[in-house]
Chains A and B, each alone.
Chain A
Amino acid sequence: MTRLPWPALAATALIAVLAILAPWLGLPNPVTMDVPHRLAGPSAAHWLGQDEFGRDVLTRLIWGARVSLSVAVSAAALACLIGTALGITGGYLRGIAEILTLRSIDVLLCFPPLLLALLVVTLLGPGATTLIPVLALVYLPGFTRVAYAGVLTARSQDYVEAMRVLGAGSGRIMLRTILPNIGGPVLVQFSLAMAAAVVLESGLSFLGLGVVPPAPSWGLMIGAARATMAQAPLLLLWPCLALTLTVLVMNALCDGLRDAVDPHPTYRPAARRLLDAIAPGLLPTPKAVLDLAHLTVEIDTPAGPIHPVRDVSLQVFPGETLAIVGESGSGKSVTSLAITGLLPGAAHVTEGAAFLDGTDLLRLPEESLRKLRGDKIAMVFQDPGSSLNPVHRIGAQIAEAIRAHRPLSDKAARAEAIALLRRVGLPDPDSRARAYPHELSGGQRQRVMIAIAIANHPSLLIADEPTTALDVTIQAQILELLSDLKRERGLALLFITHALPVVAEIADRVAVMYAGEIVETGPTAEVFLAPHHPYTAALLRSAPDEEGPPPVGIPGIVPPPTALPPGCTFAPRCPRAIPECTAAPPALRSAGAGRLTRCIRWNA
């Protein structure tokens, strides 16, 4: 649980204690008049002065808080209770309950709140006791709507369905499961309603429709002070100040509470550090399209810096597919984001170099890097839906991608876009170019993404889980397309995935990542046939294969980057570990032609 909002809590407590203890504070009677001293300024006996009847202003302010706050709190609480109940019932039960609650609330919403309040007060007569239900009525719709919206989101959650599966009744689900999960927004609504109720109460009292004089209330005080504004302007200041402060404190408190009751730890990244100017890494190996050397990425977290990618070196050659395979959290995606300069704000490269055809991407100004993206480096991501602009036709989006990097006429770009769509196998490309992304299936959208990626003849294509969201038969089509394109255009393809069978199908070489490091690399067929790292071997055994033996899991879990074990990061799960393994982090060592492993016992 996060920290409680102590300052706001203390301030609220102070106001509340003052209001509650008013009768026992030894203050003068708030309605005792002292006409001779009317409008007297501050004095030792009357710290804030006296009002138009000579009554003590401080006393009236505190007694006023008592009235104003109790009216506001009771009204907000009443509205919250009834409104939330209505919203939850309507939202959870739907059907007729929804019509009864939501529609009647909609009718209420049609009246401007002030008008509604005026109407009821005129009917029932003014006074603090009428004010409470009046204000409650005014703020009721807000709670109902917030609760209703919250329930609609919550009811589709699996954990709500889980309660139904268990046979829990509706009442139980609404109270125990849904209510706590919409607590945040309702609490915020409560702070807003309470603050607004304080203001509205003052407003109504000011108009003579709320608290009846001579009882003290901030609204009445403001109203009275207005008449004597010329003679005693300070009289207007005090109640206004009290009002503003109270509203501010209440909002701060409710915000703080909402954060405090949320069991999720909040993560606030620290400010981005300047990219350090460490000397460039090794000289680029000739021929490699991408040459990544000793890449280390650091992310600032509240618990200190973590290194989700450490000392990653790899090369991709033209016409070759290199697959990076690893489980979630192994650092695959962070590696690709670092290469393309798309790391999130809190993350930065602390070491290493990434040469693309000889240029170091990691030391390129953002502007030049932006020009390279979509031109020499192209990317395809897992979710094709979110990478396309939903309001533009796909043909136009491809044409735009072409024209962003090449000086082509609109017409020529469109013609090329259609040719690309044909190349990636979109049926009927001439008319489909006019389709919007939502009119296409997931597989077709991925084809469009690939068309955009290859539009400017990139030398490197980075595909991050490009088929994970697709069905098997569609996945097979997309994998086929990618390897055709690679062959035909001499593309270097960096393919990131967690699925070993996909690696076996598409990759010439494979790099296996574990807990931020490359633990083994080599030609795919050789690595899969005879892995030289215990993790690779265990991973292969855990992958279900139709013909092979039943899959065997790896005991334990991948260590989080916040708690890396000493020495070999795989040691706690490794069946071959010996004491030496935890002594020092093993370096990548050569294990036969074209093969590297980070295991000290690979040939033992």
Chain B
Amino acid sequence: MITTEHLGKSFPIGGLFNRHALHAVRDVSITVGRGETLGLVGESGSGKSTVGRLMLGLLPATTGRVLFEGQDLAAARPAQMRTLRRRLQLVFQDPYASLDPRRTIGAQIADALVIHKLVSPSFRPARVAALLDQVGLAPDHAARYPHQFSGGQRQRIGIARALASGPDFLVADEPVSALDVSVQAQVLALLAGLRAELGLAMLFISHDLPVVRHLADRVAVMYLGRIMEEGPVKAVFATPRHPYTQALLSAAPSLHPERRRARTLLQGDPPSPANPPSGCVFRTRCPIAAPACASTIPALAGLTHRVACIRV
């Protein structure tokens, strides 16, 4: 349904005189099918959000392209883009910053209906009420302002707003990281239910591995702007093949430390994306790096379970 081909994005950084490019995303080729959820994991600054925004056409790609049902987002004319906007939606991480504090939540949920002229004005309140009901809120909440809701409720409102236009593809950028754990599970269950009910394709961005394990069908692991490993959730979690995935999985704290995999503690910090290492970007922290890793950029190879490492 939605595919990226060798997607890349660089941002200009630096002053007037030492201007250079920061490659936030490089050579990302992923696919999300109808009704499927792809989990995108990685550490902060690895480029997860940038991939999400590229796939929604909110940022123009520097290289490569995004195809939605075969149509190149960058080549879409403004009128086509408006239709696409309706079908591609985003759920934000911060439930506090993503709602306009000065408008009622009913008005904000109705925005999509107004912009895309989806239902006639007299039916709007009924549609808003139905959406609120769908995300587990009372219809009479429509007249309230965002500050009258808790974090979890706000995230439900954000989801209702994203669903209002009847999207086919949803990017959820860390939708539960800002929530308490007891509320997290409620919102995750809501997302899983809606996905099944509406047949949504979803890119689920998260740094929380167990959450991805439970929600996603497939998972892609990013490091410094590149995909290191990609495959079915079960396979990747049970037999991670890339050294970074192995380290990442072993570092995640577990409720059952005695059952956890033996820990490979990574040394040091991720390098700056403005100045990534040559060859394999992971080599400065890789426990099994070899001299050849500095000169070759490993390609993401394999059929359903793909890995980018020359030593696998």
Interface residues of A (CB under 8 A from B): 157-159, 161-169, 172, 176-177, 180-181, 263-265, 327-328, 427, 441, 443-444, 471-477, 479-480, 498-502, 504-505, 528, 538-548, 550-555, 557-558
* Contact assessment for B207 and A504 in the assembled complex, using a CB-CB cutoff below 8 Å: no
* Contact assessment for A546 and B209 in the assembled complex, using a CB-CB cutoff below 8 Å: yes
C-alpha spacing A538/B181, complex, angstroms: 10
- CB closest residue in chain A, given B95: A158
Contact of B115 among A168, A505, A558 (CB under 8 A): A168
* Contact assessment for B101 and A264 in the assembled complex, using a CB-CB cutoff below 8 Å: yes
C-alpha spacing A168/B110, complex, angstroms: 12
Residues of A within 8 A of B237 (CB): 546
* Contact assessment for B247 and A263 in the assembled complex, using a CB-CB cutoff below 8 Å: no
C-alpha spacing A471/B265, complex, angstroms: 13
Contact of A539 among B93, B145, B182, B257 (CB under 8 A): B182
**Closest chain B CB from A427 CB (angstroms):** 7
> Mask for B168-194, Cβ within 8 A of A = 1, else 0?
000000000000111111111100000
Residues of A within 8 A of B112 (CB): 166-167
* Contact assessment for B211 and A479 in the assembled complex, using a CB-CB cutoff below 8 Å: no
Residues of B within 8 A of A500 (CB): 181, 255
* Contact assessment for B102 and A167 in the assembled complex, using a CB-CB cutoff below 8 Å: no
* Contact assessment for B214 and A551 in the assembled complex, using a CB-CB cutoff below 8 Å: yes
Given A263-B145, A471-B207, A162 and B161 touching (CB < 8 A)? yes
* Contact assessment for B101 and A475 in the assembled complex, using a CB-CB cutoff below 8 Å: no
* Contact assessment for A476 and B263 in the assembled complex, using a CB-CB cutoff below 8 Å: yes
Contact of B269 among A158, A166, A443 (CB under 8 A): A443
Given A166-B165, A328-B180, A553 and B185 touching (CB < 8 A)? yes
- CB closest residue in chain B, given A325: B181
- CB closest residue in chain A, given B285: A473
**Closest chain A CB from B51 CB (angstroms):** 15
Residues of B within 8 A of A472 (CB): 43, 207, 209, 248, 251-253
Residues of A within 8 A of B288 (CB): none
Residues B74-103 near A (CB distance < 8 A) = 81-82, 85-86, 88-90, 92-94, 97-103
Contact of B210 among A441, A471, A545 (CB under 8 A): A545
Residues B144-162 near A (CB distance < 8 A) = 145, 147, 150-153, 158, 161-162
- CB closest residue in chain A, given B251: A476
**Closest chain B CB from A545 CB (angstroms):** 5
C-alpha spacing A169/B111, complex, angstroms: 12
* Contact assessment for A473 and B266 in the assembled complex, using a CB-CB cutoff below 8 Å: yes
Residues of A within 8 A of B208 (CB): 544
Query: With A166-B89, A427-B268 given, can you name 11 additional A-B contacts, CB distance below 8 Å?
Result: A159-B100, A166-B115, A167-B85, A181-B102, A501-B253, A501-B255, A539-B181, A542-B182, A551-B188, A553-B185, A554-B186
* Contact assessment for B85 and A545 in the assembled complex, using a CB-CB cutoff below 8 Å: no
C-alpha spacing A158/B270, complex, angstroms: 27
Please tell me if B213 contacts chain A, counting CB pairs below 8 Å. yes
Contact of B43 among A166, A473, A502, A550 (CB under 8 A): A473
* Contact assessment for A547 and B259 in the assembled complex, using a CB-CB cutoff below 8 Å: yes
C-alpha spacing A551/B192, complex, angstroms: 12
* Contact assessment for A165 and B97 in the assembled complex, using a CB-CB cutoff below 8 Å: no
Please tell me if B19 contacts chain A, counting CB pairs below 8 Å. no
Please tell me if B278 contacts chain A, counting CB pairs below 8 Å. no
Residues of B within 8 A of A475 (CB): 251, 253
Q: In the complex, which of the residues A157, A476, A504, A545 has the most CB atoms of chain B within 10 Å of its own CB atom?
A: A476
* Contact assessment for B82 and A167 in the assembled complex, using a CB-CB cutoff below 8 Å: yes
* Contact assessment for A444 and B269 in the assembled complex, using a CB-CB cutoff below 8 Å: yes
- CB closest residue in chain B, given A169: B115
Please tell me if B116 contacts chain A, counting CB pairs below 8 Å. yes
Please tell me if B44 contacts chain A, counting CB pairs below 8 Å. yes
Residues of A within 8 A of B182 (CB): 327, 538-539, 542, 553-554, 558
**Closest chain A CB from B145 CB (angstroms):** 5
C-alpha spacing A163/B210, complex, angstroms: 31
Residues of A within 8 A of B209 (CB): 472, 546
Given A166-B165, A471-B43, A545 and B111 touching (CB < 8 A)? no
**Closest chain B CB from A585 CB (angstroms):** 21
Residues of B within 8 A of A159 (CB): 97-101, 108
* Contact assessment for B185 and A557 in the assembled complex, using a CB-CB cutoff below 8 Å: no
C-alpha spacing A444/B86, complex, angstroms: 43
C-alpha spacing A176/B103, complex, angstroms: 9
* Contact assessment for A441 and B269 in the assembled complex, using a CB-CB cutoff below 8 Å: yes
Given A167-B85, A476-B253, A545-B256, A498 and B111 touching (CB < 8 A)? no
Given A158-B92, A165-B58, A551-B214, A504 and B257 touching (CB < 8 A)? yes
**Closest chain B CB from A106 CB (angstroms):** 18
> Mask for B231-259, Cβ within 8 A of A = 1, else 0?
00000010000000001110111111101
* Contact assessment for A162 and B210 in the assembled complex, using a CB-CB cutoff below 8 Å: no
C-alpha spacing A472/B266, complex, angstroms: 10
